[in-house]
Structure 1
Amino acid sequence: MFHGGIMVSQLKATLAALAFAASLQPAWAEPPRAVVELFTSQGCSSCPPADQLLVEYSRQPDIVALSLPVNYWDYLGWKDTLAHVSFTERQKAYAHSRNDRQVFTPQIIVNGKKSSIGSDRAKVEKAIQVTTKGRSTLPVNVIITERDGTVTIAVEETPDTTQREAEVWILPVLKSQTVPIERGENKGKTITYANVVRSLNRVGEWRGGSARFEVPLDMARKDGDAYVVLVQGTDATRPGIILGAAKGPGL
């Protein structure tokens, strides 16, 4: 009985250790090769094919796909139910960073750098190739863990890292949202959007090496059901190239 008691105690301790270790595992272990941001609008007649393309990208484990609905087409007769002015501002800031002033829908920005027509798969794939420069993953590692209501973000540079100044962001998202559109250019259509961003939340600064950041889980998922983390360079307070990214659980 004595030896049996020791064995039971050891088994319980082992199971507890395994459970603890499991709780610290990365939410998503495969590092992405690209972040694809689609600026779209429910009032844009040419956007539905791009929305569908983003749904397809959202299913690829090595792609972080994001929908950012803009509000500047609301005057056409239908107010976008998911749009936010901060997404419009982000799209314009990207245009200023590129010095091309091109703001349109549907527009995809790949890795914070390359613009493409959002419905043109070939051009989006080309943009991914150009911005990754032969790499299979983004140059900065981002690992997410969740424990006791807290999201821990670990950021680590790799030998491929050349830029070491960036900001860390967490973006709550709705994994899937279907919207029946009653007026405007898409009247009568029902469109499903993938990974709809709900807000842009700055977590802190990264200046190379290894760094850790903690965010309450409630904030990470606020108004959404999942989240994404981005490590993004800045260019005179404008968004720059995306150095690293990770998906939260369930994406």
Structure 2
Amino acid sequence: MASRLTLTLAALGLSALLHPAAADPARAVVELFTSQGCSSCPPADALLAEYSRQPDIVALSLPVNYWDYLGWKDTLAHVAFTERQKAYAHSRKDRQVFTPQMIVNGKKSSIGSDRAEIERAIQATTKGRSALPVAITLSEHNGTLSIAVEETPDTTHRDAEIWVLPVLKSQTVPIERGENRGKTITYANVVRGLNRIGEWHGGSARFEVPLETARKGGDAYVVLLQSTDAERPGVILGAAKGPGF
């Protein structure tokens, strides 16, 4: 006859299967604008890799292309990432664009290798909250990603957009020329595309996108709910990591 302890453990195991543990809610999104041709970027790339291992942080690497003329063309860069970085600068009205630059929660700019400055930016943008203000739940079924955005009682959260970003979780690049010549650098959570899925206006909402789109060029994906400011990226209201992180 099975002991009471055995039966209890079995019941707990069955419960875990039926009700899997929810993912840690995202507390912050950190976006590193970096370049393989930037000699000061490797320490920031290593720091982003550390952040990528924190369950409540969505860490993203967005390689830019404006240092390609220094002698090495960044093999992961995309002009859309350069445009996003410049749009952030216009939204902040400081026009500061540099590498390595970390943007925290779509709002604060920090030197990408300065851990203390980044931590202060996280604290300033979360205002003591343990999670971003709008909850996002992801599910996959029959080749489709479903994105559920919860209604929030905070009436200031309106007019945002849902974005799906394919991500390559790790990519090692030997750099043969330029300022980082001879180095081999491993990049974490490299964004491979920016896909705008739809608009959100404050209530509960559901969006769907083919998984093929969500993962195109990568092996994972993240979802961002981001406010807009004159068609420029603004404060990030919610974020979620897809399976595999």
Fold-level similarity (TM above 0.5)? yes
Q: How does 1:1-251 map to 2 (within 5 A)?
A: 29-160=23-154, 162-251=156-245
Segments ≥4 residues shifted beyond 4 Å = none
Q: 1:103 to 1:137 in 2, by over 3 A?
A: same
* CA–CA distance in structure 2, aligned partners of residues 123 and 218 of structure 1: 37
1:162 deviates by 2.5
**Any idea what the Cα deviations from partners look like across 1:96-145, whole Å, max 9, x if unmatched?**
00000000000000000000000000000000000001111000001100
* CA–CA distance in structure 2, aligned partners of residues 158 and 126 of structure 1: 26
Contact 1:71 1:84 in 2 (8 A): yes
Partner of 2:7: none
Q: TM-score, normalised by structure 1?
A: 0.89
* CA–CA distance in structure 1, aligned partners of residues 50 and 244 of structure 2: 16
Instruction: Name structure 1 gaps, 5 residues minimum.
Output: 1-14
Measured on the aligned residues, the alpha-carbon RMSD in Å equals 1.6
Partner of 2:11: none
Task: Name the stretch that deviates more: 153-162 or 235-244.
Answer: 153-162
* CA–CA distance in structure 1, aligned partners of residues 207 and 118 of structure 2: 32
Where 1:157 maps in the other structure, the secondary structure is coil
Contact 1:140 1:161 in 2 (8 A): no
1:160 deviates by 4.8
Q: 1:193 to 1:36 in 2, by over 3 A?
A: same
* CA–CA distance in structure 2, aligned partners of residues 237 and 174 of structure 1: 27
Partner of 1:12: none
**Any idea what the Cα deviations from partners look like across 1:36-83, whole Å, max 9, x if unmatched?**
000000000000000000000000000000000000000000000000
State which structure, 1 or 2, has the greater radius of gyration over its C-alpha atoms.
1
Where 1:242 maps in the other structure, the secondary structure is strand
Instruction: Name structure 2 gaps, 5 residues minimum.
Output: 1-13
Contact 2:101 2:112 in 1 (8 A): yes
**Any idea what the Cα deviations from partners look like across 1:228-251, whole Å, max 9, x if unmatched?**
000000000000000000000111
Instruction: Specify the code of the residue in structure 2 equivalent to 1:99.
Output: K
Contact 1:29 1:143 in 2 (8 A): no
Contact 2:152 2:202 in 1 (8 A): no
* CA–CA distance in structure 2, aligned partners of residues 161 and 143 of structure 1: 20
The alignment-based identity, stated in percent, is: 81
